[in-house]
Amino acid sequence: MAAQQLTKNQSLVLDTLHHADGPLSAYTILDKLRDHGFRAPLQVYRALDKLLEFGLIHRLESMNSFVACAHPDHHHHHDHGVTAFAICEDCGQVTEMHDEAMEERLSVLAGKQHFKTEKTTIEIRGHCQNCTAE
């Protein structure tokens, strides 16, 4: 699949997320981009929607914020399978995790209910290794 050509706004938002060391809310992104001409939330949300669609970023439902995808190949749409996130409540770091066995398990669970899965959210809130070492 061909590399996705991003618009200026989309690139700015994606760069902002890449340079952040944790998830950012849409309004935080907006504030960081005011110097680049951003004035309104919609400018951010529209870019975020596209980046989500391209699979370049993830939305963390449990904290209404967004992170750049940890995958190496930023230049292609790709379907990760299910992604699980470990979110540290102390330092805000987010770790992206993939696991075949868990996908399989979820698939079985959904199958039992004859449920057709469109999107799966898995978010683990807790404390990362660094922040646990008191």
Partner DNA sequence: ATCAATTGCGTTATGCTATAACGTGTGGCA
Partner DNA sequence: TGCCACACGTTATAGCATAACGCAATTGAT
Whole-angstrom distance, CA of residue 52 vs CA of residue 59: 8
Q: Which is nearer to DNA, 40 or 108 (CB)?
A: 40
Is 25 a binding residue for DNA by CB under 7 A? The answer is: yes
Size of the site for DNA (CB under 7 A): 21
Where does this chain bind its own copies (CB under 8 A)? 61-62, 84, 86, 88-89, 95, 97, 99, 101-102, 105-106, 109-110, 112-129, 132
Cβ neighbours for 29, distance < 8 A, ≥ 6 positions apart: 13, 16, 17, 44, 48, 66
**58-77 mask for DNA (x: CB under 7 A)?**
------xx------------
Q: From the CB of residue 115, how many other CB atoms can be counted at a distance below 10 Å?
A: 9
